[in-house]
Amino acid sequence: MLNKKTVDDIQLKGKKVLVRCDFNVPMKDGVITDENRIVAALPTIKKLINDGGQVILCSHMGKPKNGPEEKFSLAPVAKRLSEHLGKEVVFANDDTVVGENAKAAVAAMNDGDVVLLQNTRFRKEETKNGEELSKELASLCEVYVNDAFGAAHRAHCSTVGVTQFVDTAVVGYLMEKEINFLGNAVDNPVRPFVAILGGSKVSDKINVINNLLNKVDTLIIGGGMAYTFMKAQGYEIGKSLLEEDKIEYAKEMMAKAEEKGVKLLLPVDNMVSKEFNNDAPFRACEGNLEADEMALDIGPKTQAMYAEALADAKTVVWNGPMGVFEMSNFAKGTVAIAEALASLKDATTIIGGGDSAAAVNQLGFGDKMSHISTGGGASLEFLEGKELPGVVAVNDK
């Protein structure tokens, strides 16, 4: 369904291939704390190695604001990649990304060799899609592969600019898989199609709600964003998260759901506390909250109602936790949804969103889902119905 050329459509033997990966992994004190994105990049890299390509990898990591900084170096990624691939990954450590080390390493490559460039955001023009860095990146290669789904919603040198200066630009397996999963779900879902939206803010997901209401049979809302909706329904929500200026929007979306015949489900009970604290007393509360209480998770009745709404689902897209899952007392709603998805037979279950993916993995349900997207922002933009510039930029089939 993706009408873009992929690594399967081109000759790779003996070619210098620049691959934009998403190695933007979380790090703490120089140690990678979650290497999902590295693992997800392996199928494309292995394919290129096996086909005799000369594989030059690049990626951004974090948001270095003051130019090159050790803590944003991709050196730890090079090390883990070598271990995963069982072969040397030469780390071309240039603050200028395409500097003397990179040029020398690339010139010395044999078929099947792998080089990793330094963090592309060490160059300021990367995020401005500047021509100079785009040309320098292109000068290293004969073929360009974009496999960085997590960065595909950004028009940067390494995702878009570079494609103007290479003849052959294709997508990798991860990009293909992400787009096929999300694209099939949104445009061609096996029904019933249920979307679950949660997380902290309505404003982050306005366009997602609006777009998904055109597509789904049922829309389930939980998490912090649910309380702006409950307020719109006329409930007292105490100190719960509220976006005052989105109450009207919430009303519009409820009306839109009605008009489209979409079942829109909102919490009927919540776990509430007077403090944002896992050690404070908390209770299940139906309907109105006291003025000094805040809702930090969906309650047991809501969990049961949502599980029932999911029971016959054939396609599920889930973005955003149902509560403050980082605190054990308020993780149960998110666990209940994860369990409901894990128990589905013959359903396609897709998790998008950085915190949702972290929650599902952390709670031990990672391998029970059909697909966990590696792209937070990119998956949201996809669900909004937007075209991703990094995908648009590669060659059509």
In the complex, what is the shortest distance from the CB of residue 355 to Mg ion, in angstroms, rounded to a whole number? 4
Which one, 118 or 356, has the nearer CB to Mg ion? 356
CB-wise, 172 or 224, nearer to ligand ADP? 224
Neighbouring residues of 252: CB distance < 8 A, sequence distance ≥ 6: none
- By CB under 6 A, tell whether 199 contacts ligand ADP: yes
Cα separation, 332 vs 298, whole angstroms: 8
Q: Which is nearer to ligand ADP, 91 or 227 (CB)?
A: 227
150 binds ligand ADP (CB under 6 A): no
How far apart CA 124 and CA 122 sit, in angstroms, is 6
- Residue 341 CB, nearest approach to Mg ion (Å): 19
Piece in contact with Mg ion (CB under 5 A), picked from 230-238, 254-262, 353-361, 388-396? 353-361
Indicate whether 375 belongs to the interface with Mg ion (CB under 5 A): no
Using Cβ positions, the residue closest to ligand ADP within the complex turns out to be: 199
CB within 8 A of 191, min separation 6: which ones? 217, 314, 315
Position 182 contacts ligand ADP (CB under 6 A): no
Residue 326 contacts ligand ADP per CB under 6 A: yes
Backbone angles phi, psi at 150, to 5 degrees: -60, -15
94 binds Mg ion (CB under 5 A): no
Pick one of ligand ADP, Mg ion, none as the site partner of residue 253 (Cβ within 5 to 8 A by kind): none
Range list of β-strands (E), the chain: 16-20, 27-28, 31-32, 54-58, 89-92, 114-117, 143-146, 168-171, 193-197, 218-221, 263-265, 269-273, 282-286, 294-298, 315-319, 348-351, 371-372
Termini Cα distance of the chain: 11
Interface pick for Mg ion out of 113, 217, 355, 381 (rule CB under 5 A): 355
Residue 204 binds to Mg ion (criterion: CB under 5 A): no
Positions annotated as catalytic residues are 37, 201, 354, 377
CA angle 378, 61, 99 (to 5 degrees): 125
Binding site for Mg ion (CB under 5 A): 354-355
